[in-house]
Structure 1
Amino acid sequence: MSYTNKSSKLRLILLGTVVAMMILEAFLKLVSVKDLWGISRALTGEKLTDCVARDRQFHHKLMPNCNGVIKTLDYTVNLATNSLGFRDEEINKKKKDYRVLILGDSFAEGWGVEVDDRFDNVAQEVLTARNKKTEIINAGVRSYSPILALTLLKDKLIDFDPDMVILIFDMSDLHDDFYYGGWQRHFDKVKEIDPGWSAEIEVWPPEYTGLKQILMNSEAFKTVYREVGTSFLNKKHKLTLTNLSWDISLFAKAQGWENFDKAWNLNIANILLMSHFLDQKGIEFAIAVVPRGIYVSDSEWGRGREPLGIEKNKLYEPLPIEIIQKALSIRNIKTIDLYESLGNSGKFPLYYGFDGHWTVEGNRIVGEVLANYLYDI
């Protein structure tokens, strides 16, 4: 092959690569990786996108006054939202009783059960039976991590005058807080709430700098870099910003890796900021850490582990729960212990086999724990 032909072929390859990257960039501007995850699950017959809309501030939200279903390989449940876009009854701004606001992700939203069987309504029934006047509002939205919950609280829900806020913290929040903006978004939120405040916790892992930081503005580059980098880093058992913002199952797979405890610093910082914001308003705050099924039994969440690279038939040590609760305890933030009650219930299953969310029985146990906590206030 002549030099001219080789040169022409090389130019065509480069041009094709550039065009492909431009197409990928445009596509990813319209469809996020989390959207692709939902689409891939839809191919298996699941239906996870009813009433979901993209949102510039929150990444996504539930549409107001919408009806649909949540369908997984384990269950199909109804989905109905109120005028604010939450899976709950309408909220009256004028409160009559002690008002509790629930924030969190799909565990808070109640995937896997009808609303009447969800933990907050179980708690409401128990408290009513005990003549404890309490109103529980559930504003949980799938995949909402602490930084999104704080944004929702500050910008939209604080006007409903809650007496207490309870954050349902899920293990997948380890990934989500990095995915939704990382440390930079945390510091931006600090500037909004109290520029003089600091979480006084190590910023780890460090943010991208230099050329890599510039290239990360490209959705195409970011997607390819994180996909390739995560595969390499996971094989090396190394945690960095790359795989923490890409692999949703590192809360389990990375136990025992170096710096695993530091990986939770961003979550802790965002929770501390939420606590500080509520302290300024004179509102009580507590956090309930969701123990995934792998910490409760070697057989819970059985079929759903393998696709995520989590070992089957293994009872994992509750290390993430211990890390979070210890960090909050030394800072005098109240926690609601779900781990002991779920682990010692003697009931099975408490979690769906593939989907991994609480079953009706799991929600009942969590609801009773919540009711006992609120009754003693």
Structure 2
Amino acid sequence: MRKVLIIISKSILILASTLLIAAASDILFRQYEKKFLIKAVDKESSIINLKQYGFNDHNIDLSRSKPPDEFRILCIGDSYTSSTTKAEYAYSAVLEKELNSLSLGKRFRVVNLGIPGTSFPQYMGYYRFWSKLLQFDAVVFNNYLGNDYTDLEFTPYSPDRAVLDNILTGIGATLPREHSLRFMDYIYTNIQARQNSSPGTAQYKPSFQFPWKRYVQIMSRSARVFDPAELPKFHNAMDWTHQFMNMVRQMQDSGIKVAVVASPPHIFFDNNLLLEISALSRVTSDTFDPALPAFLLDQERKRAGVKDPIIDPSACLTSHANMGEKLYYGTDTHWTVEGNKAVGDYLAAVLATRWFGLSTGSDVLGCNSEAALRVPSEKGQAVIRNLLAKYRPAIAENQ
């Protein structure tokens, strides 16, 4: 019996020592992370080196003060804005090039401020942060429909979450916190990256390519917001979109040009992916309505009094896909060089017309004129009508 007690005591001592060492190591690692793996934008500098902070912008430096002849557009969004391509191939760079080619009498500078893993709270916070720091003329918000709603399923609206004193970047700012010990997040991610990473090329940054089955699982979560039966579960996201659109209206009222883009996910451009998601979700593929969340977003736009419709590049992307172009980058889920170019070209055509009254010519591949926003199925419309009839904002508009 005594030997058993000794063994138990030693085991407890070893376990306690191990836990103590792990806790101490985690404390030290968190300090290391804060100092070396997370960067805060220097709000005092007159010149901001965006690449230093990890932004995928195609220019090196950005002055806080805007040159007199420059028309500056800020692109705010998540990884679809940041892009998995090299900076010069992201849609923001394409947009800048195309606008400068249209002889609008202005010199355009389009700034890529996309940060991966973000949604409506961060879009609002980023705008409020950058609007105090930079001079600019216009803003393009890119909402990725694949996760901007689903990420907020369990996140009630809180005005504090939409205000940022600073923007943190670097691997430590974007790496998800999934383990109680922070260094385990890095170990796990490193193992996954070694197994599934795709090296950088002349056109693409290094990326994480998910195994196919895992990718189907991830994208099936994105598909939920396109299912009329699932849409009512995202009432928290409706609160966020309501407040987001109120902010957009206030921006327009103050004279800022604003465009809101609703970007579609990969699932509607790969039939095999859609069929496997349908099987996994145990619904037919035609259950998923590609027009559903963008239409709901546009209804919130109308309720807020924002004058310009949501920009939906789906028709343009579909035209390119029908020509055999590969628009999404493997199982990385983001746009390819071709996908970014299609969106950048389309945005240039739409914004040149909306903001400067320039007709860009005949419709080429559905991308040279603004396509009407798609309307959901009758079932989808009924669900949205019911949601809007019952919906009451969590926070009053004047608060």
Q: Hey, what does 1:288 align to over in structure 2?
A: 261
Write out per-residue CA displacement over residues 221-269 of structure 1, whole angstroms, 9 at most, x where no aligned residue: 9xxxxxxxxxxxxxxxxxxxxxxxxx88633146323723525314313
The reply to whether residue 317 of structure 1 matches residue 294 of structure 2 is no
Matched position secondary structure for 2:149: helix
Q: Hey, what does 1:127 align to over in structure 2?
A: 99
Q: Hey, what does 2:360 align to over in structure 1?
A: none
Asked whether the equivalents of residues 190 and 273 of structure 1 are also in contact (C-alpha less than 8 Å), the reply is: no
Distance in 2 of aligned mates of 1:29 and 1:329: 50
- Larger % of helix: which? 2
Distance in 1 of aligned mates of 2:347 and 2:250: 23
Give the counterpart of 2:159 among 166, 184, 187: 187
Distance in 1 of aligned mates of 2:282 and 2:340: 25
The reply to whether residue 108 of structure 1 matches residue 88 of structure 2 is no
- The amino acid across from 1:336 in the alignment is I
Task: Please give the TM-score of this superposition, normalised by the length of structure 1.
Answer: 0.58
- 1:151–1:130 CA distance, 2 compared to 1 (3 A): same
Asked whether the equivalents of residues 341 and 369 of structure 1 are also in contact (C-alpha less than 8 Å), the reply is: yes
Q: Hey, what does 1:173 align to over in structure 2?
A: 148
User: Which one has a bigger Cα radius of gyration?
Assistant: 2
Q: Hey, what does 1:262 align to over in structure 2?
A: 235
C-alpha deviation, 1:108, in angstroms: 0.4
Q: Hey, what does 1:74 align to over in structure 2?
A: none
The reply to whether residue 341 of structure 1 matches residue 310 of structure 2 is no
Task: Please give the TM-score of this superposition, normalised by the length of structure 2.
Answer: 0.56
Give the counterpart of 2:304 among 331, 338, 355: 331
Q: Hey, what does 2:332 align to over in structure 1?
A: 355
Identity over aligned residues, as a percent? 19
Asked whether the equivalents of residues 168 and 287 of structure 1 are also in contact (C-alpha less than 8 Å), the reply is: yes
Give the counterpart of 1:366 among 327, 332, 343: 343
- 1:252–1:97 CA distance, 2 compared to 1 (3 A): same
- 1:259–1:109 CA distance, 2 compared to 1 (3 A): same
Moved more, 266-275 or 361-370: 266-275
Moved more, 269-278 or 310-319: 310-319
Asked whether the equivalents of residues 299 and 313 of structure 1 are also in contact (C-alpha less than 8 Å), the reply is: no
Write out per-residue CA displacement over residues 135-170 of structure 1, whole angstroms, 9 at most, x where no aligned residue: 312111112322223222212344322221111111
Give the counterpart of 1:155 among 102, 107, 129: 129
The reply to whether residue 88 of structure 1 matches residue 88 of structure 2 is no
The reply to whether residue 54 of structure 1 matches residue 54 of structure 2 is no
- 1:190–1:126 CA distance, 2 compared to 1 (3 A): closer
C-alpha deviation, 1:102, in angstroms: 0.4
Asked whether the equivalents of residues 176 and 248 of structure 1 are also in contact (C-alpha less than 8 Å), the reply is: no
Name stretches of at least 5 consecutive residues in structure 2 with no aligned partner.
Answer: 42-47, 166-177, 182-217, 356-399
- 1:190–1:149 CA distance, 2 compared to 1 (3 A): closer
Q: CA RMSD in A?
A: 4.8
Name stretches of at least 5 consecutive residues in structure 1 with no aligned partner.
Answer: 36-51, 58-63, 67-80, 194-217, 222-246
Would you identify which runs of 4 or more consecutive aligned residues in structure 1 move more than 6 Å?
A: 19-22, 28-31, 190-193, 309-313
- 1:350–1:142 CA distance, 2 compared to 1 (3 A): same
Write out per-residue CA displacement over residues 20-47 of structure 1, whole angstroms, 9 at most, x where no aligned residue: 699689859967xxx9xxxxxxxxxxxx
C-alpha deviation, 1:363, in angstroms: 0.9
The reply to whether residue 118 of structure 1 matches residue 90 of structure 2 is yes
- 1:220–1:24 CA distance, 2 compared to 1 (3 A): farther
Asked whether the equivalents of residues 21 and 220 of structure 1 are also in contact (C-alpha less than 8 Å), the reply is: no
- 1:53–1:372 CA distance, 2 compared to 1 (3 A): farther
Q: Hey, what does 1:73 align to over in structure 2?
A: none
